[in-house]
Amino acid sequence: MAEEIQQEEGAPKKKLPIMLILAVVGIVLLVVLTVVGTLAVTGFFSKPEQDSVEALLKKAEAEKAKAAEGDGHGGGGKDDGHGGKDGHGGGAKAAPGGPEKLQRGAPEAKQYDSRYKELSRPLVSNLSGSKKVMQVTVAIMTHYDDTVIKNIEKHEFALRAAALDVIRLTTDSEVDKPIFRIELAEKVRLAMNAVLERYEGFGGIEQVLFTEFVVQ
């Protein structure tokens, strides 16, 4: 009995049958072939060709659009004043067949009535550090109602004094500046509004205009 047990323990292990190995290999090959065939049917391996076709189509469309833009009677019309083109220059449209650009209209500006009041007499003052004399006639513009006009009439003496205080500080060198009158009018406007705000609690002068202006 001991010899039989030793012979059984020392016997070589059984190997897998060859047919089973061949069957497994066949199944693996079948799966691989199935996957490859599916990819071929779906066009996986032809993707580079599709990419090249799409690239050619895009290039052709770009060349067509470029040719159409250059064919529009000189490539561009006159400027319409709103950043676009008129005529056949393609300012409102992109390439033919493409979407149109919608021009954005500016909102309507609010319009206000303007009221004017000219001071009764011209303002006369010497220039600062000079023998020259400046004489100006001042008109005032407002967008508000007659209340501002009445306040101007009521406080004209104070308004004239404030304007003269500004004018007398003017020098010869300032008079030669191209925008001197614009700057002086703004200074006078601020001084006059300060007077009205002090006495009436509200200014309302939108612009000061010089209807006569003499320096001599």
- What is the residue-wise DSSP string for 97-161? TSPBPPP-PPPPPPP---EEEE-SS-EEEEPTTSS-EEEEEEEEEESS-HHHHHHHHHTHHHHHH
Of 27-36, 43-52, 89-98, 171-180, which gets the smallest average pLDDT? 89-98
pLDDT at 40: 67
Number of neighbouring beta carbons within 10 Å of residue 195: 21
Determine the Cα–Cα distance for residues 141 and 92; give it in Å rounded to an integer: 41
Determine the Cα–Cα distance for residues 137 and 145; give it in Å rounded to an integer: 23
The superfamily in CATH containing domain 115-215 is: Band 7 domain (3.30.479.30)
Does the pLDDT value for residue 176 go beyond 60? yes
- Whole-prediction pTM value? 0.49
Determine the Cα–Cα distance for residues 125 and 132; give it in Å rounded to an integer: 9
Of residues 86 and 22, which shows the higher confidence score? 22
Determine the Cα–Cα distance for residues 44 and 109; give it in Å rounded to an integer: 61
For the chain, domain boundaries: 17-92, 115-215
Determine the Cα–Cα distance for residues 114 and 86; give it in Å rounded to an integer: 36
| Cα–Cα nearest to 210, from 170, 176, 172, 183 | 183
Beta bridge partner(s), residue 118 = 139
- Condensed to tens digits (0 to 9), the pLDDT of residues 23-73 reads 777 788 787 778 777 766 666 655 554 455 566 666 667 776 666 665 544
